[in-house]
Copies of this chain bind each other. A is one copy, B any other.
């Protein structure tokens, strides 16, 4: 029985491309709870699954605090199935929000583009005033 297939902090760092500091930090933030062999940390499969979720959750845009709450939910009793769905829904909602924000951003880009066009027009019969074009200061 390998019992748990533990890994040292160094092995974890190599496997997940993080620093020891990061792992200790996550532990301090109650995101993972490695065992101790004396003073040293040992990480089991569950720790690894959690870390994986942490790192991917971060990349997706969740804060560590968001993720901690998610993981807490998984720690408290309840159907894994429903918890899974909750998290899934959360990700989908965030995605939908991103889509809306993308559309709004693109709208703003279009407006700035139009603004530039108008600016060029105004420029022709009003000349300067913005100081944007360094070598011009006539007009009175």
Annotate A91-131 by CB proximity to B: 1 below 8 A, 0 otherwise: 11011001101101111111111011111000000100111
Interface residues of A (CB under 8 A from B): 3-4, 33, 35, 44-46, 49-50, 52-53, 56-57, 59-61, 74-75, 77, 80-81, 83-84, 87-88, 91-92, 94-95, 98-99, 101-102, 104-113, 115-119, 126, 129-133
Query: A99 — which chain B residues lie within 8 A by C-beta?
Result: 95
User: Across the interface, do A112 and B50 meet the contact criterion of CB distance under 8 Å?
Assistant: yes
Contact of A46 (CB < 8 Å), options: B59, B87, B91, B115? B115
Cross-chain contact A116 with B56 (CB below 8 angstroms):
no
State whether B61 touches A61 (Cβ < 8 A).
yes
Q: How far is the CB of A3 from chain B (nearest CB, A)?
A: 8
Bound CA–CA A116/B84 (angstroms): 11
